[in-house]
Amino acid sequence: MSLPFFILLALVVGLALGYYAGRRSLADLRAEHERNWAEMRRNAELKAAEQREESDRRLELMAERLKTESERQMRERGTQLREENARQLDGILGPLRNGIQEMRNAVQQADRHHLDSMARLDESIKATLSQARFVGERADRLAAALTGENKTQGNFGELRLRTLLEDMGLERGVQFDEQWTVKDETGSVITDEETGRRLIPDVVLHFPDRRDVVIDSKVSLTAYRDYYEATTDEQRKSALDRHVKSLQQHVKQLSSKNYAGHLSADRSRLDFVVMYVFSDSALTLALTAAPGLWKEAYDKGVFITASQNLYALLRMLELSWKQQLQVENQQKIVDQVGVIVSR
Identify the weakest region by mean pLDDT among 67-76, 140-149, 174-183, 269-278.
Answer: 140-149
pLDDT attached to residue 145: 46
Tell me how far CA of residue 197 lies from CA of 191, 205, 257, in angstroms: 5, 22, 11
Residue 6 scores a pLDDT above 50: yes
pLDDT attached to residue 259: 73
User: Band of the pLDDT at 35, cuts 50, 70, 90?
Assistant: confident
* Sequence-ordered list of residues with C-beta below 8 angstroms from that of 342, at least 6 positions apart, any chain: none
Percent of the chain clearing pLDDT 90 (strictly above): 10
Of all helices (H) and strands (E), which one includes residue 203? strand 203-207
pLDDT attached to residue 269: 56
User: Band of the pLDDT at 244, cuts 50, 70, 90?
Assistant: very high
DSSP code of 171?
P
No. of helices (H) and no. of strands (E), the chain: 8, 5
Mean pLDDT of the chain: 73
Measured distance CA(60)–CA(51) in Å, rounded: 14
Query: What is the arithmetic mean of pLDDT over 315-321?
Result: 73
Q: Is 273 helix (H, G, I), strand (E, B) or coil?
A: strand
* Sequence-ordered list of residues with C-beta below 8 angstroms from that of 274, at least 6 positions apart, any chain: 213, 214, 215, 216, 303, 305, 310, 313
What is the pTM (predicted TM-score) of this model?
0.52
CB 283 within 8 A of CB 136: no
pLDDT tens-digit readout, 95-154: 656 666 666 666 566 556 555 655 555 565 455 545 555 555 555 555 554 445 555 565
User: Band of the pLDDT at 1, cuts 50, 70, 90?
Assistant: low
* Sequence-ordered list of residues with C-beta below 8 angstroms from that of 27, at least 6 positions apart, any chain: none
Residue 245 scores a pLDDT above 60: yes
